[in-house]
Amino acid sequence: MTRVYNFSAGPAMLPEEVLRQAQAEMLDWHGSGMSVMEMSHRGKEFMSIAEKAEADLRELMAIPTNYKVLFLQGGASAQFAMIPMNLIGRTGEADYFRTGSWSKKAISEAKHFGGVKVTVDSEHDGRFTSVPAADGFAVSSDAAYVHYTPNETIEGVEFPYVPATGAVPLIADMSSTILSRPVDVSKFGLIYAGAQKNIGPAGLTIVIVREDLIGEPLDGTPTMFKYATHADNGSMYNTPPTYGWYLAGLVFEWLKSIGGLAGMAAVNERKASALYRAIDASGFYNNPVDPVCRSWMNVPFTLANPELDGDFLKGAGEAGLKTLKGHRSVGGMRASIYNAMPEQGVETLIQFMAEFERTRG
């Protein structure tokens, strides 16, 4: 068996240790005689898995006790509606930052449920390559919340700071950056993330929400789209995605074993720095993003000659470097180097890039 380095933007690599443990436990979890997939979500075995996962996540992120942690379904796309349906009612208006493809989707969906004021728009010449300075935006006095996307997965643009929004709750789509480094949860009203990048398998969505914000949803909100439904029932109003929850718990244990989010951040910083350094040192590769807001997680880059893109991808694939094709809206390449991408994977990519440039550039 040869494992590859998979640079997919998501679903993405999982730590090999996690997969090996899931494999070993597949038919019999801890002597229960059952796969985790087969367990009643209300049984004592799965309850212990669920509680341990939440406790470990709370420890890793130092989540204050006045926040609920919800284990939901539907991905960030479901949150794009759940957030306004649950939170915009207080004033009927919300501020949104428009900094790339995913924040555009969040804005588009929110408009169905209330007034959306785009208080940051970083598009220039059809591209998103920057974020405003930390004091470069205003907060509307009548905003029920401010929504932003700390890391834009497609464009590779990441905020180097947490926006200060005063008394107005800050909401963050952390799908592609959660758990990549320590973050002060108390600065946020709500954090959400699809699991399939840094948490576990697709089909699980984690929401961390300050309890006072779990309020009155708009009329017509489906029961399953009310945060209160899930907060009041320990995320077990109906059957949760149990296997994803279990896998997430294994990932949290792995993160603790490597030094928590500070340890993870050190690795991620090394991986990203090495790759950007290689790109910047080359005349052949280019990353268009303002260096102050380059993503640690998603590194788009182009070749000086786009006609070589196909050969690059073919050669990379043969070298065990998979899923490097950039998003069609940006073109070129994209290396997503989430938590589970080993440093050796980034080193191998850098070596391949240098060799490709030497022979074909």
Residues near its own copies (CB under 8 A):
1-4, 6, 8-14, 16, 19-20, 22-23, 26-28, 32-35, 37-41, 43, 73-78, 80-82, 85, 109, 112-113, 194, 196, 200-204, 218, 220, 222-225, 237-244, 247, 320, 322-323
End-to-end CA distance of the chain: 33
**Assign residue 281 a region: left if phi > 0, alpha if psi is -120 to 50, beta otherwise?**
alpha
Choice between 204 and 293, CB closer to its own copies: 204
Choice between 99 and 221, CB closer to its own copies: 221
Give the Cα separation of 186 and 101 in Å (integer).
Answer: 27
Instruction: Name the E strands within the chain.
Output: 5-6, 67-72, 93-98, 115-121, 123-124, 127-128, 146-148, 151-152, 157-158, 170-173, 190-194, 205-210, 285-286, 298-303, 321-322, 333-336
Least distance to its own copies from the beta carbon of 75, Å? 5
What lies within 8 Å, CB to CB, of 222 at 6+ separation is none
3-state secondary structure of 131: coil
Choice between 119 and 323, CB closer to its own copies: 323
Choice between 76 and 275, CB closer to its own copies: 76
Q: Among 29, 56, 95, 102, which one carries the catalytic annotation? A: 102
Tokens found for residue 192: 């959400």
| Cα angle: 154, vertex 285, 4; to 5 degrees | 65
Q: Among 68, 197, 226, 271, which one carries the catalytic annotation? A: 197
Percent helix, strand and coil across the chain, each rounded to 5?
40, 15, 45
197 counts as catalytic: yes
Least distance to its own copies from the beta carbon of 119, Å? 23
**203 φ/ψ angles, rounded to the nearest 5 degrees:** 110, -5
Least distance to its own copies from the beta carbon of 5, Å? 9
Q: Among 104, 173, 254, 271, which one carries the catalytic annotation? A: 173
Cis peptide before 11 (omega within 30 of 0): yes
Least distance to its own copies from the beta carbon of 141, Å? 27
125 counts as catalytic: no
Q: Tell me how far CA of residue 295 lies from CA of 12, 160, 192, 218, 336, in angstroms.
A: 16, 9, 18, 35, 10
Least distance to its own copies from the beta carbon of 334, Å? 11
Least distance to its own copies from the beta carbon of 93, Å? 17
| Catalytic machinery residues | 102, 173, 197
